[in-house]
Amino acid sequence: QVQMVESGGGVVQAGGSLRLSCVASGRTLINVDMGWYRQAPGKEREFVAMTRWSLRGYNSEYAHSAKDRFTISRDNAGNATYLEMNSLKPEDTAIYYCNVRVPSAIPVEYWGQGTQVTVSS
């Protein structure tokens, strides 16, 4: 079992910045994928960014909407991920969820409780 604690959400004006944090515990996390999804009111949960584990290290992936504005990072121990969000837009308003995916024949996923990000125009 994996537990995650997210922080860093809040209210910010358009053009502003926020940094989300997710710290996970409960098992060895260095060889898992870890990242962020978001869900806006009335919409489905969507992918934002992910750090994917490989033997060569972590590779970062971004949704088109996040590229060039958001930066995801991972700590050396592998148990925390951070999402630096710049040039925020009102359409970025959503609950942001931390996601841990354990690669295996049948992947197992864990979700954080979510942190609210509100961008005012």
Using the predicted structure, report yes or no on whether residue 76 has a pLDDT greater than 90. Answer: no
Q: 72 near 62, Cβ under 8 Å?
A: yes
* pLDDT of the residue at 105: 85
Give pLDDT, residue 107: 87
To the nearest whole number, what is the mean pLDDT of the chain? Answer: 94
Tell me what the mean pLDDT of segment 11-20 comes to: 98
Chain segment 30-49, per-residue pLDDT in tens: 889 999 999 999 999 999 99
Q: Is the pLDDT of residue 26 over 90?
A: no
pLDDT digits (tens, 9 = 90+) for 80-103: 999 999 999 999 999 999 999 998
If you average pLDDT over residues 108-120, what whole number do you get?
Answer: 96
Strand partners, 74: 81
